[in-house]
Amino acid sequence: MKKSTIVLLVLLFIFPVAASFILYATGWRPSGTINHGELVEPARPINDVSLMRLDGKQMRFADLQNKWTLVYFGSAECLSPCKDSLYKMRQVRLSLGVDGPRVARLFVITDTNALDLLKYELKEYPNMAVVTGPAKNIEALANQFHLPVGTPLNNLERIYVVDPLGLLMMSYPADADPSGMRKDLKRLLKVSRIG
């Protein structure tokens, strides 16, 4: 064999290894990720907390198990970012068609100062669980949704996804694209054998 052929063969085998090492060392990742939300890694369990529905009936966070749940924390004042998030949650659930009933929506009210005003707004969102409770319970629940950017009590306006086993697994920022949320949920519901 010629020297040039041997050198070419060696380079042919070394180049992919060297290229992958360089990409790994520089932190490059493919831009075309499958999910649109931000994964919580590892997914973590949300411990049960006692809450109260607006009609005064008690509800436990664990009551939502066996369904995929979109969770939003916000003030009863519910300004524009809050309204946008509630609207996205409703529309994403409706867009799932026959799989829609497999997804629950939960609005956790962190500040009840404008509760009377909120009740009018909520008429647009039937079948959404709306809860509040003692400040210590709300804080205990919110702290379990802590991400590197903070907790829901930091006015993050995020929508969180909790799986049917009660594990926090994904979140979306306030400006999330609802079509991306829908694609993620559709994919999760397709592969899920639970919920």
The per-residue pLDDT for 1 is 63
For residue 55, what are the contacts with CB-CB under 8 A and spacing of at least 6? none
Write down all domains in the chain, each with its CATH number in brackets: 38-191 (3.40.30.10)
Q: Residues 180-192: pLDDT tens digits? A: 999 999 999 998 8
Q: Burial, 84: exposed, middle or buried (Cβ in 10 Å; 0-12, 13-18, 19+)?
A: middle
The per-residue pLDDT for 101 is 94
Q: Residues 27-74: pLDDT tens digits? A: 776 665 578 889 998 999 999 999 999 989 999 999 988 999 999 999
pLDDT at 173 over 90: yes
Please state, as a whole number, how many other Cβ atoms lie within 10 Å of the Cβ of residue 152.
Answer: 25
Q: Residues 70-91: pLDDT tens digits? A: 999 999 999 999 999 999 999 9
Q: Residues 101-156: pLDDT tens digits? A: 999 999 999 998 888 888 888 999 989 999 999 999 999 999 999 999 999 999 88
Q: Where are the alpha helices (DSSP H) in the chain?
A: 3-26, 80-95, 115-121, 135-143, 178-191
CB of 159 closer than 8 Å to CB of 176: yes
Q: How far apart are CA 189 and CA 166, in angstroms?
A: 15
pTM score, whole prediction = 0.81
Q: How far apart are CA 35 and CA 37, in angstroms?
A: 6
